[in-house]
Amino acid sequence: MGGDGTLDRLKRKGRIVVVGASLAGLRAAETLRDKGFAGSLTLVGDEPYEPYDRPPLSKGVLLGKASADRTALPRLRNVDAKWRLGVAATGLDMGARRVRLADGDEVPYDRLLIATGVRARPWPHEGEGALDGVIVLRTRDDSAALSRMLAAGPRRVLVIGAGFTGSEIASACRERGHHVTVAERAAAPLVGALGGVVGAVAAELQREHGVDLRTGVMVTALDGDAAGRVRSAQLSDGSSVRADVVIVSLGATRNTEWLYGSGLGAGPRGIACDAGCRAFDIRGIVTDDIYAAGDVARCPHPLFGYQFLTLEHWGNAVAQAEIAAHNMLSESVDRVPHMEVPSFWSSQFGINIKSVGVPSMGTEILITQGSLESRRFVGVYGYQGRVIGAVGFDSARWLPFYQEQIEAAAPFPPEFSTVDRRTDGQRPVDADFPDPSVPTHGPTVTLSGYAPDDRRMTFVPAH
Amino acid sequence: MTLSLLHQILDYSNRSNPYPLYEELRKTPVYREDGGPYVVSTYYEIRSLFHDPRISSDTRNRTGSAADPLGGDSHEEAALPPSFLKLDPPEHDRLRRMTNRPFGPPHSPHRVDGMRPELREIITGLIDGISDPSRFDLVEEVSYPFPVTVICRLLGVPREDEARFHVWADTLAASLDPDPDADSADRGKVANEARMQLGMYLAGLIEERRKNPGDDMLSQLATAKGEDGPMTTMELLSTAALLLIAGHETTVNLITNGMLTLLRHPDVLKRLRREPGLAVPLVEELLRYEPPVQLVPQRTTLAEIEIRGVTIPKGSPVWLVLAAGNRDPQRFKDPDRFDPDRPDVQHLGLGSGIHSCFGAPLARLETQFALSELARRLEKPRLIEDPPPYRQNAVLRGPRQLHIACDGIRP
Amino acid sequence: MVRIAVDLNRCQGYAQCAFLAPETFAMHGEEALLYNPEVDEAHREKLLQAAAACPVQAILVDAVDVPAKAVSGGR
């Protein structure tokens, strides 16, 4: 090992603190130990549970295939860490290198990894959101509570917001035989992530499976009964829906408030970091001892013109955790950048939806394989004459090819023929994304410009 | 006369150890000799091509028969329509989905798992029945009868008809080989004849199963009422022929190659005897080290594509040499070493992408059962002949016989 | 209990796991995978078969047994 021995000392007896004890936090801890970190390791998590996996919460758990309190993540190795669970971090003193905890404790660090992720955006009217039967779905407690509500046999379930999570919940509820209404402000489900062309397929899927899908509407109010139980929802088209379970699925908010005032470049859009996951301070200068990973990190991506990207993706959490851990313990020349092509999956109504790249950056779409009508297809997104993303419905085995196309900045529209090219695939059409100035629910990929600073903008759904 | 590299690979005299030739081949990742097919032999390139929608499995997309002087296989289509192995989506997807319905998840999730007791019973019976432990042919007594009995039960084909379809299956398997020395047209005729006979045999069976359906796959395929509707009779015949041949000609090699490899690695054999669970990673490593399908010779480009600086024109035949990719040092450390503890064995042995091996779970279980039981029960097994005599086939490569001597059979 | 997670980014729906360990893995439609993240010890052998057979090595299995007390709550 080169350098002046600082790194060696860090490895032998340094103190590393990981704030956020979910997927990214755990994988980072494991990677640190894998790379020979022998010092003290502390994991701080606001939930009282050891790290658990979230994807099953909106799929397998609601279908009864798994239990909400039994989705703990497997341990790939021993991490020999001090766990501070059930206690949130409330502040950061960058100068003194200390993290303040909700119980008043302060934890000193030599290196800090922030992986505090996101939380579900709550219903904007506090009183209505507090009605019995109104719930968001993000944590294992949420999932357990929702499972209980569904087990009680509600007369109708209302899902507000048809992003991926909302659509998955609607799918599971239909499979369990519940009556389901979905209210979505956009013209179709999934439009924020995949655009209107694919969104139209998602809408058909929902309706075919018996979902009462209302698009182009907003929920304006939730009404409760005398006992404080939700009873109905008012929609912007003047109609109302009677429902005894209401799931608010309006996307996520990044857990960065605890960093405000610390001097770290953290805001509502996440924590700005460099391609090596090192966090910027508010002056736009990169720190050398603070790293960020997972849903909370905003990293410039070389494949997308170095725009800052925030990805609410499982694979991204793992990749960034490993990179942050590696870079923490490396001399500058040995550090590695985060270059993985974003990838995402969802399963709903019996269809496996996968995407690679950033479809939402695309302006046009070409169905290169299969057909929209058959619900088995690959759609390729183009942006300024190159391939920027792709989506597959039950076509996962073809996506590695499109990932290579994205990595190679291959020209769009693709000039080659493929197997299973149909009439849909003759020429590209407008991908039909909503106006980018109108925020959509849970796009899962957020592009946030080229500057590391983050205006303190807040997104208030127009409800 | 020196043979060209491809001819050497196909030449029978190199059958027992083609790996040095594959190493030579990998030096030119996209290799071509005088107007022949484009031969891809490196791991990452093969893996990419398996997922590349510009590559067709339907050889009817080749431009002109002259494009493949090393022997095409376009004649076989005459007797029966192509099976899903040689079709592209959407036809491939529809037929494979329908075939999977009575075989695997989502519709039949317990079929293969439920065969475990039966597999154990069959392999036990075969090892019990070894005629003379002091000298026996593993192929004849175990590796061949095991998967054949299994595929017959699964499909609902009477085991006693084996002698009849064995010949057809062998002929058809041989026709997969791009053999430059045989008269192509002649071979085509023979294969076509075998396909016709096998088709007629299966047609009779299917007719019977339609009247008296059982729990077997043929019955269920013949009476299917899924969302895709029923297969046509011709599709059903092609599919049944494919399953019967594939069940016949591949696992036998995997098991024989496995025992041969174990006998050449006595330390591993010893470990397997103590630790039957080792069979699980061992079979994956075996699929890398000695894959039963050495190369896939029937892909065709639908567009001009560029790989590693080589431009392959539209309509060209492409061969994917799985066995060479499996030993690519760019992907696998110390690739010529057989190491059942190897981490991260993502071999190409069962293909990848939409055409990945249909019977993979069954092949895995059969080979795991066979090798762990052979290791446990054979006392001091030794190879009588090394290398053993090989079958002619270069694509479905494996020993024709594997003579083993042992001191006895443990109960 | 054995804990598992499947990296569904890697998963391409080859269904080897659902063939070999149907107690734990199930296909939901043609390509989507559902699984139980906590597997009974009795199914460990089949689980390991499924994990080894995964063509994209997407199944993550507990490598260490973490005793519950190793994880303590805040004060």
Task: Find the radius of gyration of the CA atoms of chain A.
Answer: 22
- Give the E-state strand segments of chain C in sequence order: 2-6, 25-28, 32-35, 38-39, 59-61
Q: Which residues does chain A have with pLDDT short of 50? A: 1, 455-463
The reply to whether residue C60 touches residue A74, judged by beta carbons under 8 angstroms, is yes
Distance CA(B45)–CA(B48), nearest Å, equals: 5
Distance CA(B75)–CA(A387), nearest Å, equals: 40
More confident position, C72 or B372: B372
Q: Is the pLDDT score of B117 beyond 90?
A: yes
Assigned CATH for C2-63: 3.30.70.20
Q: Is the pLDDT score of B251 beyond 50?
A: yes
Minimal Cα–Cα distance from C68 to chain B, Å? 28
Average pLDDT over residues B189-209: 90
**Tens of pLDDT along C7-59?**
999 999 999 999 999 999 999 999 999 999 999 999 999 999 999 999 999 99
Using CA coordinates, name the residue in chain A closest to B299. A419
Q: How confident is the model at residue B175 (pLDDT cuts 50, 70, 90)?
A: confident
- Closest partner residue to B280 (CB to CB) among C15, C48, C57 is C48
Minimal Cα–Cα distance from C11 to chain A, Å? 8
Instruction: State the DSSP code for A193.
Output: H
- Closest partner residue to B51 (CB to CB) among A376, A397, A416 is A397
The owner of tokens 């960093």 is A259
Q: Does some domain include residue A32?
A: yes
Q: Residue A312 is part of a domain; what is its CATH number? A: 3.50.50.60
For residue A437, the model assigns a pLDDT of 58
For residue A463, the model assigns a pLDDT of 35
In the numeric block, which tokens belong to residue A64? 């009864």
Chain C residues with CB-CB distance to B281 below 8 A: 52
User: How many Cβ pairs within 8 Å bridge chains A and C?
Assistant: 116
Using CA coordinates, name the residue in chain B closest to C27. B106
Among B105, A414, A183, which residue's Cα sits nearest to residue A404?
A414
Burial of B263 (0-12, 13-18, 19+ CB in 10 A): buried
For residue B230, the model assigns a pLDDT of 84
User: How many Cβ pairs within 8 Å bridge chains B and C?
Assistant: 59
Type and span of the H or E element at B382: strand B382-383
Are residues A158 and A75 part of one domain? no
CB A79 within 8 A of CB A246: no
Which residues 35-54 in chain A show a CB within 8 A of chain C? 48, 50, 53
Distance CA(B299)–CA(B59), nearest Å, equals: 7
Q: What residues are paired with A245 via a beta bridge? A: A157
Distance CA(A342)–CA(A315), nearest Å, equals: 8
- Closest partner residue to B88 (CB to CB) among A401, A404, A420 is A420
**Tens of pLDDT along B270-325?**
999 999 999 999 999 999 999 999 999 999 999 999 999 999 999 999 999 999 99
Using CA coordinates, name the residue in chain B closest to A397. B353
For residue A440, the model assigns a pLDDT of 55
Minimal Cα–Cα distance from C14 to chain A, Å? 9
Q: Which of A250, A280, A310 is the last residue of a domain?
A: A250
Using CA coordinates, name the residue in chain C closest to A87. C74
Among A420, A410, A365, which residue's Cα sits nearest to residue A194?
A365
**Which site among A174, A209, A345 would you substitute to test the C interface, given the most C Cβ atoms closer than 10 Å to its Cβ?**
A345
In the numeric block, which tokens belong to residue A218? 């907003």
Q: Is the pLDDT score of B182 beyond 70?
A: no
Question: A459 to each of A48, A162, A269, B197, how far by Cα in Å?
Answer: 29, 17, 10, 71
Question: B373 to each of A60, B122, B273, B363, B364, how far by Cα in Å?
Answer: 37, 11, 8, 15, 14
**Number of domains forming the structure of chain B:** 1
Q: Residue A442 is part of a domain; what is its CATH number? A: 3.30.390.30
Chain A residues with CB-CB distance to C69 below 8 A: none
Q: Residue B43 is part of a domain; what is its CATH number? A: 1.10.630.10
A144 touches chain C (CB under 8 A): no
The reply to whether residue A418 touches residue B303, judged by beta carbons under 8 angstroms, is yes
Chain A residues with CB-CB distance to C17 below 8 A: none
Q: Does some domain include residue A456?
A: no
Instruction: State the DSSP code for B141.
Output: I
Q: What's the mean per-residue pLDDT of chain B?
A: 92
Chain A residues with CB-CB distance to C70 below 8 A: 83
- Beta-carbon contacts of residue A408 (< 8 Å; ≥ 6 apart): none
Average pLDDT over residues B6-24: 96
Strand, helix or coil for residue A357? strand
More confident position, B254 or B72: B254
CA atoms within 13 A on the CB side of C32: 21
Using CA coordinates, name the residue in chain B closest to C14. B356
Are residues A181 and A149 part of one domain? yes
Q: How confident is the model at residue C71 (pLDDT cuts 50, 70, 90)?
A: very low
The reply to whether residue A419 touches residue B53, judged by beta carbons under 8 angstroms, is yes
Distance CA(A461)–CA(B139), nearest Å, equals: 70
Are residues A42 and A134 part of one domain? no
Using CA coordinates, name the residue in chain A closest to B54. A418
For residue C70, the model assigns a pLDDT of 43
In the numeric block, which tokens belong to residue B210? 């339609």
Phi, psi of B116 (to 5 degrees): -55, -50
Where in the sequence is the domain holding B117, given as residue range(s)? 5-409
Q: Does some domain include residue A212?
A: yes
Q: Which of A334, A364, A384 is the last residue of a domain?
A: A334
Are residues A325 and A430 part of one domain? no
Domain ranges of chain C: 2-63
Where in the sequence is the domain holding A186, given as residue range(s)? 122-250
Q: Does some domain include residue A452?
A: no
**Number of domains forming the structure of chain A:** 3
Query: Is the overall model pTM greater than 0.90, yes or no?
Result: yes
